């Protein structure tokens, strides 16, 4: 039996992880228990569609056993198990390609825990173990295998004996060192507390043999040792619990346990709806943009449970695209399990839930904007673009939902403002909502086109994101005020005496302007005397619907 080396990438990732990624070593247990629970879920799925398989709930559990004398901690499950190929594919390669590059890129910026995101939770075992042995037998297989590894060097796989389907993960716990204590991971009370903290709502029983001393029967001073198998977790899913019983920390733990993200949620919504449609949901607004958020790879969706059983990992129909950043789960008893997963999307109940959820998210964002401005701006920094795309897409069909959630930088306030704030400050004679586009604030401030508007004392919104102007074109108006680019031909500002003078000067120098227009033929449409320049000799403006910036973007787009 030869040792197979981990792929080079895996090796480095493993080393980094053991040494630095997780701040709390204790979460290895959460990861291993989640995997065990996932493995039981997989059998459950199978039983749903395979008539030969009967899922008898009592047969499915997770057991955590500490053996102090041998320094081993075993996490056993009666889940689906792993074949030899599974062992090679799932435990032989750490993370998917690209994740290491991602980590290198981001580590410097934020010391976040990326492990959950890349499906390498299993390897967190090496934070507390110097050797990990996996003995597993897959469903539909009469063979069992033993996988073993001492860390970065590689692993071995060999045939093994195991009577029943499922997996035992055996951790050989590291000896204590001067800096790090590992004994606690062999202590039954400590283990019990860790399970309670992170895995309480796991739907299958997590059992432990708890040892104790008790009075001998019939005696009042003689004690005896006893061992009792206990189910440590309450198995009540957090979403079925009363909101009043839950602390922020419980939601954060749930978010991290579920690996919804590697950040902390900015806000959570706990919904217990029992109107036209009955469902429970826990939704999260993340703090940070997932690394693949603005790419095609990103998949939106919520976990969908039917009466407490996961039936879909990412139900996309539950979220509109413009709220695709929302994470979380929905559990409903109204969804019939007879409906195949494909048919679910046409389910009337599901549509009702989606509609309901949409308005809850909108409401949550609005109240955050109103009452927790700082948090809202954090959120907007991460996901504001998505809201703007939302306004732009579907020909502005969602503008009612979104326009009041938008923020833009204001020339006056020097910070982000809402359209409502802008409009409510407009002087009576101001006709339009003015905006200027450019790469960044500094550049916009230097635009000669802003001078006239700013001189009038009008506020200008700075558009630095490509999508800004496109979104605004879809809105067209906000509270009956049209948007106007400061570089557009008609600014709707009354001509002053000076400006009238400029007009007559222009007429006097007609020939000169005609000559300049000719010289610049093909580059500009016309050269005119401007009424709006104060300190700059010249500026470019556009006529019609498209601003110069939009033309640039459209030209750059592939046909």
Contact residues for ligand ADP (CB under 6 A)?
Answer: 31, 35-36, 38-39, 77, 79-82, 90-91, 119-122, 167
- The nearer residue to ligand ADP, 76 or 487, going by C-beta atoms, is 76
Are the C-beta atoms of residues 405 and 387 closer than 8 Å to each other?
yes
Sign of the C-alpha dihedral computed for residues 88, 313, 293 and 396 taken in this order: positive
Which residue is closest to Mg ion by CB? 121
CB of 159 to ligand ADP, least distance (A): 18
**Interacting partner of 126 out of Mg ion, ligand ADP, none (Cβ under 5 to 8 A depending on kind):** none
CB of 91 to ligand ADP, least distance (A): 6
- For residue 483, give the 3-state DSSP assignment: strand
Mark residues 47-76: x for contact with Mg ion by CB under 5 A, - for none.
------------------------------
Structure tokens at 192: 């019990």
Residues counted in the chain: 559
- The nearer residue to Mg ion, 39 or 474, going by C-beta atoms, is 39
Greatest Cα pair distance in the chain: 120
**Interacting partner of 277 out of ligand ADP, Mg ion, none (Cβ under 5 to 8 A depending on kind):** none
Mark residues 120-139: x for contact with Mg ion by CB under 5 A, - for none.
-x------------------
Mark residues 293-312: x for contact with Mg ion by CB under 5 A, - for none.
--------------------
The CA distance from 540 to 527, in Å, is 9
CB of 86 to ligand ADP, least distance (A): 6
CB of 167 to ligand ADP, least distance (A): 4
- The nearer residue to ligand ADP, 167 or 233, going by C-beta atoms, is 167
- The nearer residue to Mg ion, 60 or 422, going by C-beta atoms, is 60
**Interacting partner of 373 out of ligand ADP, Mg ion, none (Cβ under 5 to 8 A depending on kind):** none
CB of 206 to ligand ADP, least distance (A): 13
- The nearer residue to Mg ion, 120 or 472, going by C-beta atoms, is 120
**Interacting partner of 205 out of Mg ion, ligand ADP, none (Cβ under 5 to 8 A depending on kind):** none
- The nearer residue to ligand ADP, 82 or 406, going by C-beta atoms, is 82
**Interacting partner of 120 out of Mg ion, ligand ADP, none (Cβ under 5 to 8 A depending on kind):** ligand ADP
Specify the DSSP class assigned to residue 457: T
CB of 82 to ligand ADP, least distance (A): 5
Among 156, 114, 151, smallest CA distance to 10 is for 151
The CA distance from 405 to 407, in Å, is 7
**Interacting partner of 77 out of ligand ADP, Mg ion, none (Cβ under 5 to 8 A depending on kind):** ligand ADP
| Helix then strand then coil, % of the chain, to nearest 5 | 40, 20, 40
Among 37, 31, 44, 36, smallest CA distance to 307 is for 44
The CA distance from 370 to 418, in Å, is 11
- The nearer residue to Mg ion, 125 or 417, going by C-beta atoms, is 125
- For residue 546, give the 3-state DSSP assignment: coil
- The nearer residue to Mg ion, 166 or 390, going by C-beta atoms, is 166
Are the C-beta atoms of residues 515 and 435 closer than 8 Å to each other?
no
Structure tokens at 378: 């954090």
The CA distance from 208 to 530, in Å, is 83
Interacting residue with Mg ion among 13, 21, 35, 288 (CB under 5 A): 35
Q: Does 448 bind Mg ion (CB under 5 A)?
A: no
Q: Give CA separation, 192 vs 66, 214, 388, 467, in Å.
A: 11, 20, 47, 51
- The nearer residue to ligand ADP, 122 or 478, going by C-beta atoms, is 122
CB of 31 to Mg ion, least distance (A): 5
**How many residues form the binding site for Mg ion (CB under 5 A)?**
2
SS3 annotation, 65-131: EEECCCCEEEEEECCCCCCHHHHHHHHCCCCCCCHHHHHHHHHCCCCCCCHHHHCCHHHHHHHCEEE
CB of 349 to ligand ADP, least distance (A): 30
- The nearer residue to Mg ion, 38 or 503, going by C-beta atoms, is 38
The CA distance from 381 to 505, in Å, is 47
CB of 208 to ligand ADP, least distance (A): 17
The CA distance from 107 to 21, in Å, is 9
- For residue 549, give the 3-state DSSP assignment: helix
CB of 434 to ligand ADP, least distance (A): 50
**Interacting partner of 82 out of Mg ion, ligand ADP, none (Cβ under 5 to 8 A depending on kind):** ligand ADP
Are the C-beta atoms of residues 204 and 40 closer than 8 Å to each other?
yes
CB of 466 to ligand ADP, least distance (A): 35
Where on the chain is the footprint of Mg ion (CB under 5 A)? Answer: 35, 121
């Amino acid at each position: 039996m030869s040792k197979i080396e981990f792929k080079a990438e895996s090796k480095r990732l493993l080393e980094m992880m053991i040494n630095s990624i997780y701040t709390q070593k204790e979460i290895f247990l959460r990861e291993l228990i989640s995997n065990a629970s996932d493995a039981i879920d997989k059998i459950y799925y199978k039983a749903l569609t395979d008539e030969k398989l009967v899922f008898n709930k009592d047969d499915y559990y997770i057991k955590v056993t500490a053996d102090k004398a041998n320094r081993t901690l075993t996490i056993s499950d009666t889940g689906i198990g792993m074949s030899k190929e599974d062992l090679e594919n799932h435990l032989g390669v750490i993370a998917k390609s690209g994740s290491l590059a991602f980590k290198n890129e981001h580590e410097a910026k934020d010391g976040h825990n990326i492990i959950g995101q890349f499906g390498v939770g299993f390897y967190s075992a090496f934070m507390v173990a110097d050797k990990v042995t996996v003995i597993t037998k897959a469903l539909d297989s009469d063979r069992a295998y033993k996988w073993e590894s001492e860390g970065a060097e590689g692993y071995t796989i060999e045939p093994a004996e195991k009577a029943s389907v499922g997996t035992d993960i055996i951790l050989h716990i590291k000896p204590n060192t001067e800096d790090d204590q590992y004994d606690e991971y062999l202590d039954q009370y400590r283990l019990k507390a860790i399970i309670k903290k992170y895995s309480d709502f796991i739907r299958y029983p997590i059992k432990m043999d708890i040892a104790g001393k008790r009075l001998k029967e019939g005696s009042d001073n003689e004690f005896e040792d006893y061992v009792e198998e206990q189910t440590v977790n309450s198995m009540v899913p957090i979403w079925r619990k009363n909101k009043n019983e839950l602390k922020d920390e419980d939601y954060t733990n749930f978010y991290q346990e579920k690996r919804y993200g590697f950040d902390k949620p900015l806000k959570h919504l706990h919904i217990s709806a029992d109107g036209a449609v009955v469902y429970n949901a826990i939704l999260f607004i993340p703090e940070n943009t997932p690394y693949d958020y603005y790419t095609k790879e990103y998949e939106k969706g919520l976990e969908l449970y039917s009466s407490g059983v996961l039936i879909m990992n990412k139900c996309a129909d539950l979220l509109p695209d413009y709220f695709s950043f929302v994470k979380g789960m929905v559990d409903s008893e109204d969804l019939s399990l007879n409906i195949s997963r494909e048919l679910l999307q046409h389910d009337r109940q599901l549509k009702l839930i989606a509609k309901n959820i949409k308005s809850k998210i909108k409401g949550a964002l609005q109240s955050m904007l109103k009452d927790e401005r700082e948090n809202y701006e954090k959120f907007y920094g991460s996901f504001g673009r998505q809201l703007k795309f939302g306004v732009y897409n579907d020909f502005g069909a969602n503008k009612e939902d979104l326009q009041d959630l938008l923020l833009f930088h204001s020339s006056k306030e020097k910070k982000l403002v809402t359209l409502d704030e802008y409009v409510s400050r407009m002087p009576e004679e101001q006709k339009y909502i003015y905006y200027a586009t450019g790469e960044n604030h500094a550049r916009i401030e230097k635009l000669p086109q802003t001078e006239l508007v700013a001189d009038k004392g009008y506020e200008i919104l700075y558009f630095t994101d490509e999508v800004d102007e496109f979104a605004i074109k879809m809105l067209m108006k906000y509270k009956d005020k049209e948007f106007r680019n400061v570089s557009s031909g008609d600014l709707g500002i009354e001509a002053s005496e000076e400006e009238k003078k400029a007009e007559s000067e222009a007429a006097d120098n007609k020939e000169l302007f005609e000559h300049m227009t000719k010289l610049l033929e093909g580059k500009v449409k016309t050269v005119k005397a401007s009424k709006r320049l104060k300190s700059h000799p010249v500026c470019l403006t556009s006529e019609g619907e498209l601003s110069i910036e939009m033309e640039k973007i459209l030209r750059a787009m592939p046909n």
